[in-house]
Amino acid sequence: MAVPVAALVWYLYGGSHAGALSYGVGVGILSFVSTAVTVSWLLRGTRAWVLAGAGSFVARYGFVAVALGVPAYLESWPALAMLGGFAGVFLAENVVLVPVALKMAGNLGTDYGAGGSAPETEERRVEV
């Protein structure tokens, strides 16, 4: 999705803005991958893996702050395009993953229309 957006930004604003957008997308993708690594480490359950996951969580935010903050501070890239690319990755991540996570957690209910069957109810009769 980033390629057509970068092409449009290149056409409208020039190569430096398109490069900044692509850089922001790259940082966002690396952050997304590190999120997956962090979650996998946290779910392993042993104390060492949980500590490694917690450290990875902190390091990920440090990486993003440095990777986006230094070029913005040095005015190497147009900051708005760079942050826009980064934010676009997180928006796409949330649009794709949040409904899946909610469905896995059971918060969306059961989809009976997709070939599933309604749960059986148990009927108990008591004679008086």
pLDDT digits (tens, 9 = 90+) for 106-126: 755 555 445 555 555 566 666
pLDDT tens for residues 11-60? 998 888 999 999 999 999 998 888 888 878 878 778 888 888 888 888 88
Structural domain including 81 reads: 77-108
Q: Is the residue at 93 inside a domain? A: yes
How far apart, in whole angstroms, are the C-alpha atoms of residue 63 and residue 46? 25
Assess if residue 87 is contained within a domain: yes
Residue 127 lies in a domain: no
pTM: 0.69
pLDDT at 12: 92
Number of domains in the chain: 1
In a domain, 102, yes or no: yes
**116 within some domain:** no
